[in-house]
């Protein structure tokens, strides 16, 4: 068949007279094909070899894609674990930076705030904006809001949007 033709080999007798490959050649060809490298130094020379080669090549592409995806997942998981381990190591300086109200204790909100910023999930400016909105809503108790306070704040926003500057 083309450049790979072997003298005396026909489609009828290809298995009997065709090019014989050793087990090492077959293994090498399998690895080269499955990994999609395909040097071209060994090619199937019979119809049967080509029929086996087609699904083998396609499965090689799929297998390589799944392997690369699994490796990426492992690397991302390792990076995530490393980040979590880093979050567990808190120096005195970091603790003081996390303690936004300066009372010597971390609240859950302060710790979560630190983790969100440290892991680049959200920036500090955005969180500060959320805190400002919360503080503007909060009227009755220092660290909690009621549904009525939320509704009142929403009414205030509607009024401000309809005519006046609401950037304060």
| N-term to C-term CA, the chain | 81
- Digitized pLDDT (tens) for each residue of the chain, 168 residues in all: 566 666 767 667 655 554 667 888 888 888 887 776 777 777 776 788 788 888 888 888 888 889 999 999 999 888 877 776 766 677 777 788 788 888 888 888 888 888 888 878 888 899 889 888 998 888 888 778 889 999 988 888 887 777 655 454
Q: In angstroms, how far is CA 27 from the centroid of its own chain?
A: 34
Give the Cα separation of 100 and 102 in Å (integer).
Answer: 6
∠ at Cα 135 (130, 138), nearest 5°?
A: 125
Q: Is residue 44 classed as helix, strand or coil in its secondary structure?
A: coil
CA distance 117 to 58: 44
> How far out from the chain centre does Cα 161 lie?
39
Please state whether the predicted TM-score (pTM) of the whole model is above 0.85: no
Q: What is the pLDDT at residue 168?
A: 46
User: What pLDDT, on a 0 to 100 scale, did the predictor assign at position 72?
Assistant: 93
Measured between alpha carbons, how far is 69 from 35 in angstroms, rounded to an integer? 15
């Amino acid at each position: 068949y083309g450049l790979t033709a072997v003298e005396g080999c026909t489609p009828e007798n290809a298995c009997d007279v065709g090019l014989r490959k050793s087990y090492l050649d077959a293994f090498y060809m399998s690895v080269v094909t499955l990994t999609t490298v395909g040097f071209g130094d060994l090619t199937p020379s019979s119809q049967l070899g080509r029929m086996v080669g087609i699904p083998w090549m396609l499965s090689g592409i799929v297998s390589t894609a799944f392997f690369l995806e699994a490796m990426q997942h492992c690397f991302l998981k390792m990076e995530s674990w490393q980040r979590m381990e880093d979050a567990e190591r808190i120096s005195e300086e970091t603790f003081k930076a996390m303690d936004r109200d300066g009372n010597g204790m971390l609240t859950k909100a302060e710790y979560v705030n630190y983790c969100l910023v440290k892991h680049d999930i959200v920036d500090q400016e955005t969180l500060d904006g959320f805190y400002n909105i919360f503080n503007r809503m909060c009227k009755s108790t220092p660290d909690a809001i009621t549904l009525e306070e939320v509704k009142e704040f929403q009414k205030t926003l509607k009024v401000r949007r309809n005519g006046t500057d609401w950037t304060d």
